[in-house]
Amino acid sequence: MRNTSLLRRAAALGCAALLTFGLAACGEKEEPQTETRLYRDGTYTAQFDTAGADGYTTYAVVEIASDKVSVTEFDGKNASGALRSADTELADSMKAGASEYLTFEPTPANLSKKAMEGFAAAGGDPDSMALTAGGPEYGLGLAALVDAVLDGPAKADSESGSTQVEVPYYADGSYKVTVQDFDLSGYKEYIVLKISGGVPTVEEFDAVDEEGKLRSEDTEINPKVPYSESVPALMDSFNSARTVEGIETVTGATESSDCFRLLVERALENAHLRYSTDDTVDVLGDGSGLKDGVYKAEMSEFENGWKDYVIAQVWHGNVVIVELDSLNESGTKKSADSSFAQSLKDNDKAPGDSVAVYLGKIVSAFNRADGDLPAMENVAGATISANNFKIMLGELMGGNMVTGDTEVREIAPLTAEELSGEASSEAEDSSSSESSSSAA
């Protein structure tokens, strides 16, 4: 997700090692080495300094023991002290708009739990977290809060004795968001939003053509309302209100006003979630990139008694794996089949001692490749499932996710000719582990 604090921690370990070596070298007698800690043990609470659009202020309780970082609570509180996770009205509204393919209810309580599980799966490193399926903003928000703790009072050399951390809702920095595709006039609009002291300001709103020329310098364009009038008006409107809701539409420039609103909204979201400083957005929903939504693909035939399927979410152009599993002819999931689980345990060449483990390895390989299917590492012992995962997700990414078609996509298995390019070692691996387990 981000690697800033990972680099910071590696540097801290390096400096500590050099310091220990230097002290030992200077003394006449080598002293016993003491364990070097990155963080102070304790329980810390971090929360954003402002409530979100839902009226809740998000917080996290972080526990540190011997440099092991865990999150014991992640929720939000409103002005009355009520918890977001207990808000049934909010939960119902989220469930009402959820995709039918989600195998869980995307309520605040469930998404907070999934974010915490994702943090634990990342080994307590917020920068290694995968996006949270069903609610990526939950995992990103949690990562930002934990980072604030690890960068602040929990640091081993911190002079602060506090265990409370107030985190700016917006992270200082410069955030650029550009429309995904060029419009009919050959330009695509963009904004540059700067956060300073937590206060957002739009510094630039313009458009650029394929050659990098700015629309503001093009004297041949004559819109109904000159850009020299509409652009400053829109910028002033936001910079006075500091909210998307406060942006006033410029009469005669409705399209530019709507575009400006969407660009600002994305930039503010990125500043809050510490996500991207240079982003693109499909303003009209008909661009060339992947369309936000939840998609499903399944194999058209059973293989060794199982039919594989994948459910994936597109969020801001990124693919998040919601579920990877298989069904047998009676409708039982492979992950819930006790006999299949036992066959894995009995097979010393199996790719894991449970379905969750070896399918998780496939998903992890995809995440490590940053969504680049051809660059995915092979998963030893799970060639059949890995190949099916690649072709299912590849079909979705090249088809449904581009058009926005959320119908289930059925995928034919790879033919012998298509599989001929696979290394013989992979074929042996497949037959000796996954296939034999499937037959059990």
Residue type, 204: E
User: 85: which DSSP letter?
Assistant: G
Count other Cβ atoms within 10 Å, centred on residue 391.
Answer: 19
CA gap 78, 182 in Å, rounded: 42
* 275, two tokens: 């996500």
Q: Are 135 and 11 in contact (CB under 8 A)?
A: no
Give me the pLDDT at residue 30, please. 54
Largest Cα–Cα separation, the chain: 83
Residue whose token pair is 């609009």: 189
Exposed (0-12), middle (13-18) or buried (19+): which is 25, by Cβ within 10 Å? exposed
Strands 278-281 and 173-179: parallel
Q: What is the pLDDT of residue 318?
A: 93
Q: Which domains does the chain have, with CATH numbers?
A: 37-167 (3.90.1010.20), 173-281 (3.90.1010.20), 293-439 (3.90.1010.20)
Structural contact between residues 171 and 144, judged by C-beta atoms closer than 8 angstroms: yes
Tokens of 80: 């009355």
CA distances from 171 to 167, 236, 262, 371, 381 (A): 9, 22, 19, 26, 44
d(CA 411, CA 344): 26
**Cβ-Cβ contacts under 8 Å for 259 (sequence gap 6 or more):** 179, 189, 283
pLDDT at residue 22, rounded to an integer = 43
> Which residue has tokens 């890995």?
386
Q: What whole-number distance in Å separates Cα of residue 26 and Cα of residue 243?
A: 58
How far, in Å, CA of 222 to CA of 92, rounded? 48
Contact 149, 42 (CB under 8 A): no
Of the CA atoms within 13 Å of residue 38, those in its CB half-sphere come to: 18
Hey, what amino acid is at 243?
A: T
Token representation of residue 129: 């977290």
Residues of the chain with pLDDT under 70: 1-35, 348-353, 416, 418-440
DSSP secondary structure, 340-372, as one string? HHHHHHH-TTSS-SSHHHHHHHHHHHHHHTTT-
List alpha helices for 214-337, DSSP H.
227-241, 254-273
Residue 149: the pLDDT is: 97
Question: How many other C-beta atoms lie within 10 A of the C-beta of residue 118?
Answer: 21
Per-residue pLDDT, 288: 80
CB proximity list for 404: less than 8 A, separation 6 or greater: 285, 291, 293
Stated pTM of the model: 0.84
Q: Which residues have CB under 8 Å from 267's CB, separation 6+?
A: 175, 176, 177, 191, 193, 200, 279
Please give the Cα distance from 357 to 96 (Å, whole number): 32
3-class SS shares of the chain: helix, strand, coil, % to 5: 40, 20, 40
Determine how β-strand 57-65 pairs with β-strand 318-327.
unpaired
